[in-house]
C-alpha cells in the first residue's frame, strides 16, 4: 500500500483532477459472495433475524474504492471501482454468512411488516460503518458498530445490544486486488464475531 497504491495516487490514477490525458481502463472489484445451497423453514427455527441494509457514512458508499490519506482526507479511486454499491454488497455477504453460521435462526434481509402473528416477534440487526477503506499504513480498515433490536407485540421495538468494532488488517498484497481481498477477509471476521455474540445474548424470548 505504501508503495504501489501511493505511487498510483501520485500518478493521478486515483484523482479526477490529474486524470486528464491518461488512458487507463476501469477495473471493477467485488467480494466472492459464495452462495451455499440451503433451505430453512420458519417452523424449524427458534427465532427470526432481519438484517437491515448496511449503512456506510459519507464517501465510503461510493463506487470508487476509498483511501484514507490522513485524519481528514478520504478519496475515492476513479479507475478502481466496486462492481456494485458497497452497502448492497456488504448486506448480501452478511446475510449469506449469518444464514450459514446460525442454523437455528431464520435469517432474512430486511422485510416489510409481516401480518402473520407467528412472525411478529423477531430480532433486527443494523450495521453502521465509519471505516471501509485502505490507508497509507498498508492496512485494510473496517470500523463501526452494530445494533441488535427485538420486536414483540407486547413491548414493541427494544434495543438489546450495541457493539463497536474496529478491525485493521495488513494487506495480503500491495495492490487494489490485495486491498479488496483483505477487506473481504475482515468483513467475514466481523460477521463471524457478530453471529457468535447474537447466539449468546439473543436467546429467543
Quote helix, strand, coil % in the chain, to nearest 5.
30, 35, 35
pLDDT digits (tens, 9 = 90+) for 106-159: 999 876 656 566 667 889 999 999 999 999 889 999 999 999 999 888 888 999
What's the first-to-final CA gap in the chain, in angstroms? 47
Q: Tell me if 119 sits within 8 A of 48, measured CB to CB.
A: yes
Task: Classify 86 as helix, strand or coil.
Answer: helix
3-state secondary structure 113-181: CCCCHHHCCEEEEEEEEEEEEEECCCEEEEEEEEEEEEEECCCEEEEEEEEEEEEEEECCCCCHHHHHH
CA–CA dist 64, 62 (Å, integer) = 5
CATH topology of domain 4-201: Rossmann fold (3.40.50)
What does pTM read for this prediction? 0.85
Query: Between the ranges 39-43, 45-49, 106-110, 165-169, where is the mean pLDDT highest?
Result: 165-169
Is the pLDDT at 84 greater than 50? The verdict is yes
| Boundaries of every domain in the chain | 4-201
Amino acid at each position: 500500500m505504501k508503495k504501489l497504491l501511493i505511487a498510483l495516487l501520485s500518478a493521478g490514477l486515483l484523482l479526477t483532477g490529474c486524470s486528464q490525458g491518461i488512458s487507463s481502463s476501469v477495473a471493477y472489484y467485488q467480494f466472492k459472495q459464495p452462495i451455499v445451497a440451503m433451505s430453512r423453514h420458519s417452523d424449524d427455527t427458534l427465532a427470526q433475524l432481519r438484517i437491515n441494509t448496511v449503512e456506510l457514512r459519507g464517501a465510503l458508499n461510493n463506487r470508487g474504492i476509498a483511501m484514507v490519506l490522513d485524519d481528514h482526507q478520504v478519496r475515492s479511486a476513479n479507475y478502481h471501482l466496486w462492481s456494485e454499491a458497497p452497502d448492497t454488497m456488504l448486506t448480501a455477504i452478511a446475510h449469506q454468512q449469518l444464514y450459514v453460521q446460525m442454523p437455528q435462526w431464520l435469517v432474512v434481509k430486511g422485510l416489510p411488516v409481516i401480518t402473520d402473528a407467528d412472525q411478529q416477534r423477531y430480532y433486527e440487526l443494523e450495521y453502521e460503518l465509519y471505516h471501509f477503506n485502505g490507508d497509507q499504513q498498508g492496512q485494510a480498515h473496517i470500523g463501526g458498530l452494530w445494533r441488535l433490536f427485538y420486536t414483540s407485540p407486547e413491548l414493541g421495538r427494544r434495543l438489546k445490544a450495541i457493539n463497536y468494532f474496529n478491525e485493521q488488517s495488513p494487506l495480503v498484497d500491495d495492490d487494489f486486488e490485495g486491498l479488496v481481498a483483505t477487506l473481504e477477509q475482515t468483513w467475514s471476521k466481523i460477521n463471524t464475531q457478530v453471529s457468535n455474540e447474537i447466539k449468546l445474548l439473543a436467546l429467543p424470548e
